[in-house]
């Protein structure tokens, strides 16, 4: 991290806080109220969570703002994990005595659909003096401060990285305190990060392919990248109003990475099938897409890969008349960029609270 740049940004933040003291006071009060609210959910209370109280609990997280229908996402978490697994692992994450890196990895291994942003938020609200928030804004802020080698994908955000993040955020907290700010904790750092990246152009998201061509990914990495791109395509579809599923059977013997489904009144449904290719046989991908087209509800099939592989896929599909007119291609880099852009847009819209939560 560039210390001179950090000091410069802190000085600008201090000037803004002096110019707008009421905004600074409200932010401080909001942090205090959020900590009190989350800490009221002690171990015993967490172990009695039901679907309604889990929704109430998770809905206060910033990472849940993207979900206008928070009950939908809560039900998805329960479906993928069961309530018992979620309850037990939340209690373990927040109250066990093991080092935080071990608790982090154990939680991430056992619970799906609750990602690094949500996990770090929970830790930060329970222990604001010790644990920082990790999300896209924190990543952007650290990059602007000259930090390098930050994770590109969620699967890389493991306990060892969170330990490193604690060290980075602690350095920022010390610099804020040295600049004269009072009551600096990790949530204060998060608010500073948020301020730092406002009105800025987001950084370009690296592609999965770029990492592969540099030889930085092994076969296991490619599986993780495949799954992350797959899951982001599913989330994009959900945000756009489709019913989405992953690893879905569309015809006998054919499973598709992602399926978007839309119902048209009483006329039936339309489907869009996505196959993600990070490595392996293009022939296998094309066969899956061809087979999926035997389902008459499938209106289009989408191959998702890097630029180099997409060119090969399009060239080979051109020789298959039954495929070429239905095939669409989506660069995996654009998938990540689209996901980030939609996340920002829906987060902003949902902050307006135009639709009541109980609607």
Residues 162 and 253 in one domain: no
Place of tokens 């051109």: 318
Question: Taking the model in full, what pTM does it have?
Answer: 0.75
Kindly state whether residue 353 falls inside one of the protein's structural domains. Answer: no
For residue 151, the tally of other CB atoms under 10 A from its CB is 15
Residues 174 and 224 in one domain: no
Residues 216 and 318 in one domain: yes
Q: What is the model's pLDDT at position 317?
A: 86
* Tally of domains within the chain: 2
Q: Please list the ranges in the chain whose pLDDT falls under 70.
A: 199-224, 265-267, 353-359
Domain end call among 159, 182, 207? 207
Tokens representing 20?
């707008």
Task: Note the pLDDT tens digit of each residue in 202-235.
Answer: 433 333 333 433 444 455 566 668 888 999 999 8
Residues 97 and 57 in one domain: yes
Kindly state whether residue 348 falls inside one of the protein's structural domains. Answer: no
Residues 195 and 214 in one domain: no
Residues 11 and 131 in one domain: yes
Residues 319 and 241 in one domain: yes
Tokens representing 234?
């599913």
Q: What is the CATH number of the domain that holds 274?
A: 3.40.1350
Domain end call among 172, 207, 242? 207
Give the three-state DSSP class for 185: coil
Place of tokens 């008349």: 321
Q: What is the model's pLDDT at position 218?
A: 56
322: domain range?
208-340
Domain end call among 142, 172, 207? 207
């Amino acid at each position: 991290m560039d210390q001179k740049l950090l000091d410069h940004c802190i000085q600008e933040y201090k000037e803004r806080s002096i110019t707008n003291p009421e905004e600074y006071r409200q932010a401080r009060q909001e942090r205090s109220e959020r900590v009190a609210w989350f800490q009221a959910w002690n171990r015993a209370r967490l172990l009695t969570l039901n679907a309604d109280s889990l929704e109430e609990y998770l809905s206060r997280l910033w990472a849940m703002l993207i979900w206008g229908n928070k009950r939908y996402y809560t039900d998805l978490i329960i479906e993928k994990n069961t309530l018992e697994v979620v309850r037990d692992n939340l209690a373990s994450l927040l109250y066990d005595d093991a080092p935080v890196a071990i608790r982090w990895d154990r939680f991430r291994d056992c619970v799906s659909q609750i990602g690094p942003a949500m996990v770090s938020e929970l830790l930060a609200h329970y222990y604001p003096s010790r644990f920082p928030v990790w999300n896209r804004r924190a990543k952007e802020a650290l990059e602007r401060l000259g930090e390098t080698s930050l994770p590109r994908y969620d699967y890389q955000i493991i306990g060892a990285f969170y330990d490193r993040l604690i060290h980075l955020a602690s350095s920022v907290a010390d610099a804020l305190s040295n600049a004269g700010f009072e009551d600096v904790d990790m949530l204060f750092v998060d608010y500073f990060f948020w301020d730092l990246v406002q009105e800025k152009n987001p950084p370009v998201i690296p592609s999965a392919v770029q990492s592969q061509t540099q030889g930085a990914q092994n076969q296991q990495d490619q599986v993780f990248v495949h799954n992350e791109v797959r899951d982001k395509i599913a989330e994009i579809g959900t945000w756009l109003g489709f019913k989405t599923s992953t690893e879905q059977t569309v015809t006998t013997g054919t499973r598709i990475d992602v399926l978007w489904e839309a119902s048209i009144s009483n006329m039936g449904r339309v489907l869009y099938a996505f196959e993600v290719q990070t490595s392996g046989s293009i022939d296998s991908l094309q066969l899956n897409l061809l087979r999926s087209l035997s389902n008459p509800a499938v209106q289009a099939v989408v191959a998702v890969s890097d630029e180099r592989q997409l060119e090969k896929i399009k060239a080979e599909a051109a020789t298959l008349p039954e495929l070429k007119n239905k095939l669409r291609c989506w660069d995996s880099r654009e998938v990540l960029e689209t996901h980030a852009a939609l996340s920002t847009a829906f987060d902003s819209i949902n902050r307006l609270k135009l639709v009541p939560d109980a609607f």
